[in-house]
Amino acid sequence: MTTEMRDLRRLTLPALGLLGAAIVLALAGARGAAPAADSAGYTRYRVDAATAKRDRVRVLPAGVRAATFRFAPGTAPADRDAVLAAIARARPEAQRLIGLVDGIVDVRVGATGQPGAIGLTQPGERYAVTVDLGLVSRAFGQRGIDRDVLHELGHVVDFALVPDDTMTQLQAGIPTGYGCDQGLSGACAHPRERFAESFAKWATGDIGVDLGEGYKVPPPGPTLDAWGAPLARLGELR
């Protein structure tokens, strides 16, 4: 499910089967240049100084690199462990990228407040990520939990870290989906959801066959490894 804010009007897709991961975003200026947070409130950095200067954003501070997730007060240890275990099962290159941005992520486990949505990412100075582990576990099991967690963190990697030219390259490797369910999935999936879906598939190595969760976005190509190579290189920059 996707919820987008357009001119303060909210569009919702209530069907859980179409998607579990949701994001609230302001579209105008979302990838504009600014020192740290752009006009829409997205906190944005770059890994290396040259790219940061080119894109007119800050270099990722050492303090952010060194920090880790903040979990909401009262988060059950089992829920915290489930989120961290999903990340630990991801490929090392994806873990490296998440490790760069987790210091600006606040995690809450519970209902997203959006009908049918099993995940929600709200960008700002810090990124608020909500995952409904109970709902996704009942509907999709462990594979669904992994996909949900990594989809939402894919949004953070996108907003906070990925340069525009790299994103253009990555989007070119994601096939157009089929159909257009309520204008939000398949061929109508927003580019940000296309990336988050693909990031989760790349991170898990699971292209989602028989997993009824997502925006009906085909796997990126020509292979997951080839598609994600720019992300792997990004994570290696220091």
Average pLDDT, the chain: 83
- Residue range 54-103, pLDDT digits in tens: 999 999 999 999 999 999 999 999 999 999 999 999 999 999 999 999 99
What string of H, E and C letters represents the secondary structure of 131-145?
ECHHHHHHHHHHHHH
Q: How many domains does the chain have?
A: 1
Q: Give SS3 for 118.
A: coil
**72: which DSSP letter?**
P
Task: Indicate the pLDDT class of residue 27, thresholds 50, 70 and 90.
Answer: very low
Query: Which tokens go with 38?
Result: 């752009």
pLDDT at 237 (0 to 100): 63
Pair 121, 154: CB distance under 8 Å: no
* Distance (Å, whole) CA 3 – CA 185: 12
- Residue range 51-64, pLDDT digits in tens: 999 999 999 999 99
For residue 222, is the peptide bond before it cis, meaning its omega torsion is within 30 degrees of 0?
yes
- Rg of the chain, C-alpha, whole Å: 16
Q: What's the whole-model pTM score? A: 0.85
* Distance (Å, whole) CA 35 – CA 176: 33
pLDDT exceeds cutoff 50 at 14: no
- Residue range 168-225, pLDDT digits in tens: 999 999 999 888 877 788 898 999 999 999 999 999 998 888 777 778 899 999 999 9
User: Locate tokens 């296309």: which residue?
Assistant: 194
Nearest to 77 by CA among 109, 117, 103, 104: 109
Number of neighbouring beta carbons within 10 Å of residue 74: 9
CB < 8 Å & 24+ apart, contacts of 78-83: 79/109, 79/133, 80/107, 80/109, 82/109, 82/133, 82/145, 83/107, 83/109, 83/131, 83/133, 83/149
Could you list the residue range(s) of the whole structural domain that residue 135 is in? 4-236
